[in-house]
Structure 1
Amino acid sequence: MIVITAPTGQIGSRLLDLLLDEAPARGEELRVIVRDPRKLPDTVRARVDVVTGSHGDAEVVDRAFAGADAVFWLVPPAPRAPSLEAAYSGFTGPAAKAFVSHGVGHVVGVSALGRGTPVAGRAGQVTASLAMDDLIASTGVAYRALASPTFIDNLLRDVPSIRDHGVFTDLVTADRAAPMAATRDIAAAAAGLLLDRSWTGTGEVPVLGPEDLSPNDLACVMTDVLGRPVRYERQSLDDFRAALAGRGIGDAFVQGYVDMMRAKDEGLDDGVQRTPGTASPTTFRQWCGEVLRPAVLTE
């Protein structure tokens, strides 16, 4: 039995599709934890066991982890949480206890790059995510943290600006090259670990994408693929802070985002070498052609 949390999100929904294709042939049953089962396609609901509720709730995870061999763990956004610790380790606490009480053998979690870098202790959400990894590892379960950089798919937030003004924004230096990964590659890495549970102990599995790119590089690729000029505008941290607060995001998460983006510009994602084992396959150009271009042209 494999349990998938956050099955309707960007990563969880892709992971669920992959497991539905492969798990039955391996004799694996699938269970999902979801707040609103209506968000699952009818064809999916018919093929999985559904536990309704939040996976931050002790009673919910107690039901969901009964008989579980492996769990995919992803903490959902909590923009109004009182602290980053509450949003990550606090949310994960009930599950960590349930891993032990139900004898769950393997857990795969979505986390972040940065461990061991000079800025890891002051990187907002990344710092909190690494502390969550430590909490899960302390239970004794076999654990792999998918250490991810910035998601390529985050650029979908800029589709209206790219379409209407030929502009996308971020907070890093225009020529700073860094790894980026497609969410589908993170889901594929999770599927591989959940289906082949021959691994033991705890550790990180970096998912770095195939290349480091700067915002200027991204602009060039988007210009080429979209057939229209696209340029990068660097947003100030003060403007970023004000925009987040204007969307109703709480003080703790606003400060966390600011700290994380500052740390990224100071090299947070630079600490892991790209190798055949850490590179993931989807190029930015491929993603632009398959995902961004249709979104821009159909919006």
Structure 2
Amino acid sequence: MIVVTTPTGQIGSRLVRQLLDQDKEVRVVVRDASRLEDAVRERVETVEGSHDDPAVLDKALPGAEALFWLVPPNPQAPSAEEHYLSFARAGAAAIARHDVGHVVGVSSAGHGWPTPAGVLSAAFAMDSELGRSGAAYRALSMPFYIENFLGQLGAICGQGAFYLTCAGDLPLASIATRDIAGTAADLLTDLSWTGQENLPVFGPDRLTPDGMAEVISQELGRPVTYRRMSMDDYASLLRSRGASDQAVKDTTEAFAAQDLGIYDADWAIAKPTSTDFRTWCREVLKPAADAWAS
């Protein structure tokens, strides 16, 4: 039995489908089972609730050989680190209690970074806590999610631009969520691995944001440019959207660390995944842009 948390998210939903395609027994932990696709709901065991709740985990983990762990975002949490750790403490205790042998967690690249990195540091703290469970553990260590561009669809289509805080002429490490799900599926269906490791998962490109803008322009058939946003302007944007001071700090620290190269050491050793940026733009961004325009 493989237990999957966040089965309706971008990564979890893909992972569940891949596991079912391989006829694996799957149990999901989901806040609202009605959000599962009908075809999925018919084939999985369902435990409703949040996986920071020990009672929910005690229903989900009996008999589990492996667990996929992802902490859902919560901008309203008092701090990113406390949010991640509240899940991880409950998870580690339940993993040990039910003797789950293998855990795959979604984390960040950059373990060992010497200064605070906001949300990224929170993910590292989660990994340390889950490592105390005694299970074999793989922290999938990721850089910038390509899917973040979907959150800027209005700007891309309406303004012909997208905005980040990093330099336009320096390579930006990225990853497609489909490849995160694929890597997790490979690990969860072959439990021959042991020990605890951070596993860098990076896409094959070494594009700069300016280079990404060129690819987006070509695939959408219209000019799109990259516009760098200052960290102060980005912080002001977050506050205008209702983010707390701590949430602003957690987010801007993460982006500052990204700008300073927190992903670089892992990028140098990562085995590239299959989805390149152009393919993602063609298969995901363009259909989304077409739907936005219609």
Question: TM-score scaled to structure 2, two decimals?
Answer: 0.97
**Where in structure 2 are the equivalents of 1:1-299 lying within 5 Å?**
1-22=1-22, 24=23, 28-118=24-114, 121-274=115-268, 278-299=271-292
What residue identity is the alignment partner of 2:140?
L
- Percent of aligned pairs with the same residue? 47
Q: Contact 2:81–2:119 (CA<8 Å) still a contact in 1?
A: no
Deviations 1:212-257 (A, max 9, x none): 2111010111111111100011111122112212222232221110
- Mapped partners of 2:178, 2:28: distance in 1: 19
Q: Contact 1:125–1:260 (CA<8 Å) still a contact in 2?
A: yes
Q: Contact 1:108–1:194 (CA<8 Å) still a contact in 2?
A: yes
- Mapped partners of 1:290, 1:179: distance in 2: 20
Q: Contact 1:176–1:265 (CA<8 Å) still a contact in 2?
A: no
Aligned residues: 292
Q: Identify which range, 220-229 or 182-191, moves more after superposition.
A: 220-229
User: How far is 1:149 from its partner?
Assistant: 0.3
What residue identity is the alignment partner of 1:291?
V
Listed as ranges, the gaps of 5+ residues in structure 2 are: none
Deviations 1:38-89 (A, max 9, x none): 1001111110000000011111011111111100000000111112221111
Listed as ranges, the gaps of 5+ residues in structure 1 are: none
Partner of 1:271: helix, strand, or coil? helix
Question: TM-score scaled to structure 1, two decimals?
Answer: 0.95
User: How far is 1:278 from its partner?
Assistant: 1.9
- Mapped partners of 2:78, 2:123: distance in 1: 16
What residue identity is the alignment partner of 2:47?
V
User: How far is 1:295 from its partner?
Assistant: 0.8
Structure 1 segments of 4+ aligned residues over 4 angstroms from their partners: none
What residue identity is the alignment partner of 2:4?
I
- Mapped partners of 2:240, 2:61: distance in 1: 39
Q: Contact 1:81–1:250 (CA<8 Å) still a contact in 2?
A: no
CA RMSD in angstroms, aligned pairs only = 1.2
